[in-house]
Structure 1
Amino acid sequence: MDITTIRSLLLTQLRTAAGEIGTIVAENETFNAKNRAHWNRFTFTPIETSVETTGATPWTRIGGFATISIFEPKGTGVDSLYARAETVKSLFKASTVLGAEPDFVHVEKSWSEGTIEEDVWTQVQVLVRCYAFVQAI
């Protein structure tokens, strides 16, 4: 398990809802929003790595944050924006486990933060805190 695998598992989970929430653009992907269509940006940020021990075997805990920025054209209201945020949060409920052995990602929690007004967009962010364990050698 590494950061790339964690990111991939989270992004794959998010893309299962593309039909409901619209276009999903990951960090460093080129995208040109057209016709005032709503869209979403996925960003993964690795955070602390620590060693956890239970018994004789130490495990490395790798933490991360996924940020899903949900964009709606400014002036179109926030109902759709909030509905899409709820859909994203439902994909990342606390205790959700993504992946298959040996690569599991555990979702600790997800929440949304207030709306942000920009020149042509209104956005809300959904944050997902997750972690994975790798046996330390």
Structure 2
Amino acid sequence: MFGSVSPRAEALGEALSVYFGVADAARAKTVVERTPTVPFGVPEAGLYALNFRYANGNGPINTENKCAIRTLRSSAGALLGTVVLPRRGTGEWSNSGLTNPTMVRLEKGKNTLRLALEPANTNMNIAVNQAMLDYLRV
């Protein structure tokens, strides 16, 4: 396995901002993209567990409903799973964790994934559906 991937800084939408490989969110907000793509490679075809390292400081862990949710898709648009990015605590943008793992069948060599904000990803809060992503773990 090639391990971690840190693509260029990319952000999703206005209600959601997801940042790849960027330490401070203020700098990352200058790049906005609704559906970031993540290119990476694997040495062999097969079934891989993927997850993302992230931070979500939008609220306390025991109340409110500001969990970030995204749909994981292949570059061809096939549904691969749902990525959940729970809150880490109010203002805890430097407290990172790992999302739920998603089992994905990959081809040998280069692969590309997309994180999409879709209607099914709307959480109960509706207005806040935001997190910061650091890297993809394969």
Structure number with the bigger relative contact order (C-alpha 8 A, sep ≥ 6) is: 2
Structure with max Cα Rg: 1
Considering fraction of residues, name the structure with more helix: 1
- TM surpasses 0.5: no
TM-score w.r.t. structure 2 length? Answer: 0.38
